Amino acid sequence: MKKFLCAALSLVMILSLAACGGGNGGSSSAGNTGGSDGASGDTIKVGVFEAMTGGNAAAGELELEGFRLANTIRPTVTIDGVEHPVELVVADNKTDTVEAVTAAASLVSAGCVAAMGGTGSGLCIAAAPTFDEAKIPVVGTTCTNPLVTEGNTYYFRLCYTDPGQGSILATYAKDTLGAKTAAILCDITDAYCIGLAEYFKANFGEENIVEELYFNTGDQDFSAALTTIAAANPDVVFSGSQYTEGALMQVQAEQQGLDLTFLGTDGWETETFLDIGGSAVDGCAFVTFFDADADPTPESEQYLKDYDSVYGGKPRSSYTAVSYDAYNVLLDAIEACNSVDGETLRDQLYKTSKDCVTGHIEFDDNGDAIKDIAYLKSAKDGQFTFGGIAALSN
């Protein structure tokens, strides 16, 4: 089945793409809060709300890489004709919902005029009310759960949402792989994973789900669940999981000699997933935000040049591209409205219309990006491989 998956990936239609175009902050100059006019200050502080430790740390580091890249290439923002240095202030949410609130509060206290991030929808959901209360706009990156922006008037996001991701994976399983049945193995303690599993099930057809099992974040032994799933003989297994658990279950499936085809989440796209999974993850498939091997656009070409000039080589993950876009979308909005007043900046973000590395970006009334494409990827020989571009429905 895995050989069939690799062959099928090469058959995915590549659609044409009209696609945008950090240091860790200790502060040397006081900034202003989202509710004040910071144009007179020497330094504009922008918060980075990310998981630097804990279960999402590998993804958080990749996003921080993109923020730092963009800040290196574009270190100032112009307000009323005056250039201001932009300082990134990094707050570690520690992949914990309680710490997420603390991290958001620390960015408010530090005088950040806006924030960006992050990985882990549940963490962003927990932090959003703090940013809302302080009137600090946040440009979300890879927080895909719909609840991140729902009712949170200062939270935006650049990525697609889970309904679109779940729909693509279900369609891919049915139309490209010819799958008739599926099993679900999902992290019951992660809002992101639960949402994705539900959207996959709804689009694949609940009547076609032959087994549905759950685990907790941090679990490491999936042998019993895999045996149960194998007995149900599904054509595919949808794994609602982050990168560590997703890789471990595939390693254990290989160790048990089980021929299971895994579909997963954008959360898998880290070096850690490949390092843990080894050959066991060859042939898996997931949806993500960008691929450096896709047909280039002016924006993606510039991004890849910028990346190579600062880090050398190609970016390791689409997380970096999304965070690079977030920084530029935010600075464009500041320059367009000539202000870092929270409400003014929020209103300007709603007017965004920008060709970015990850596609054209506009926001709907909920602060969600109106996007029409996503990228399919697989794993092979210790690398992620481009599988094509799929249409999104908003």
With vertex at residue 118, the alpha carbon angle to CA 120 and CA 293, rounded to the nearest 5 degrees, is 95
Q: Which CATH number fits domain 38-160+295-374: 3.90.650.10, 3.40.50.2300, 3.40.50.1390, 3.40.50.2000?
A: 3.40.50.2300
**150 to 99, 113, 357, 359: CA distances (angstroms):** 21, 22, 25, 23
Q: What is the rounded CA–CA span in Å between residue 147 and residue 97?
A: 14
Quick one: pLDDT at residue 207? 97
Query: What sign does the CA torsion over 86, 88, 89, 93 have?
Result: positive
Q: What is the pLDDT, as a whole number, of residue 2?
A: 45
Decide yes or no: CATH 3.30.930.10 for domain 165-288. no
Confidence at residue 97, expressed as pLDDT on a 0 to 100 scale: 96
Q: What's the CA angle centered on 103, arms 74 and 326, to 5 degrees?
A: 30
Token readout for 198 is: 């539900």
Burial bucket for residue 10 (CB in 10 Å: 0-12, 13-18, 19+): exposed
The token pair that represents 28 in the structure block: 């040397």
Domain 38-160+295-374 identical in fold to domain 165-288: yes
Mean pLDDT for all residues in the chain: 89
pLDDT at 316 (0 to 100): 84
The string of pLDDT tens digits covering residues 40-54 is: 458 999 999 999 999
Beta-bridge partners for 263: 238, 285
The per-residue DSSP string of 293-361 comes to TSPP-HHHHHHHHHHHHHT-S--S-HHHHHHHHHHHHHHHHHHHHT---HHHHHHHHTT-EEEETTEEE
| pLDDT digits (tens), the chain, 394 positions | 444 444 343 333 333 333 344 333 333 333 333 333 444 458 999 999 999 999 999 999 999 999 999 999 999 999 999 999 999 999 999 999 999 999 999 999 999 999 999 999 999 999 999 999 999 999 999 999 999 999 999 999 999 998 988 999 999 999 999 999 999 999 999 988 999 999 999 999 999 999 999 999 999 999 999 999 999 999 999 999 999 999 999 999 999 999 999 999 999 999 999 999 999 999 999 999 999 999 999 999 999 999 999 999 999 899 999 999 999 999 999 999 999 999 999 999 999 999 999 999 999 999 999 988 889 999 999 999 998 888 876 5
Q: What is the pTM of this model?
A: 0.85
pLDDT tens-place string over residues 126-145: 999 999 999 999 999 999 99
- Per-residue confidence (pLDDT) for residue 24, from 0 to 100: 37
Q: CA 189: distance to chain centroid?
A: 19
The Cα–Cα gap between 352 and 294 comes to 25
C-alpha span between 47 and 212 (Å, rounded): 39
Cβ pair 197, 238 in contact under 8 A: yes
> What's the pLDDT at 6?
42
